[in-house]
Amino acid sequence: MENRVERIKKQLHEQSYKLTPQREATVQVLLENEEDHLSAEDVYLLVKEKAPEIGLATVYRTLELLNELEVVDKINFGDGVSRYDLRKEGASHSHHHLVCIECGAVDEIQEDLLAEVEKIVEKDYQFKVKDHRLTFHGVCHRCQAKVKKNEESAEAASLHTN
């Protein structure tokens, strides 16, 4: 995975952006937390561990830059903060999420589920699709188990008190 950083650095260089320690540290943090849907604040705190002198504004600027370079995707789950996901390398963007309304866990699902829907949209609505976001809100399997368990113990307690 070391090459991943190198390739991103190369990409910066090719587009004549400067290579700074702050940018490198930010990319490192994103790589080390690839599954975590970090907010700018999250990234800031993590980068600060490596490079304590970094400013929050720089983190925002770097994330914005990486978004423009299509290295990260800026996503929004409606909770008031933007989150930044590293794109799967080479592959398509990753905009399909399962957000658990119980515990807040965010899972990802396979990318090709929408191919058919996209075709219909392009044809029926004469709409040239460039990108898409699909988010399901619901209850993840862990919380389904938890809820079931709680219901059972509540039932047991009710038996005791009656």
Partner DNA sequence: TATAAAAACGATAACCATTCTCATTTTAAA
Partner DNA sequence: TTTAAAATGAGAATGGTTATCGTTTTTATA
Binding site for its own copies (CB under 8 A): 74, 76, 78, 82, 98, 100-101, 107, 109, 113-114, 116-118, 120-121, 124-141, 144
Which of its own copies, DNA, none does 62 bind, CB closer than 5 to 8 A by kind? DNA
Q: Which residues of 31-57 are buried (b: 16+ CB within 10 A; e: fewer)?
A: eeeeebbbbbebbbebbbeebeebeee
Which of its own copies, DNA, none does 135 bind, CB closer than 5 to 8 A by kind? its own copies
Cα dihedral value 30, 31, 35, 41, nearest 10:
-10
Stretch that binds DNA, among 74-82, 88-96, 106-114, 145-153 (CB under 7 A): 74-82
Q: Which of 73, 67, 26, 70 shows the shortest CA–CA distance to 48?
A: 26
Contact characters 80-119, DNA, x per CB under 7 A: xxx-------------------------------------
Q: How far is CA 95 from CA 9, 29, 77, 131, in A?
A: 24, 20, 11, 9
Q: Which residues are annotated as a binding site for Fe cation?
A: 132
Q: Which residues are annotated as a binding site?
A: 100, 103, 132, 140, 143
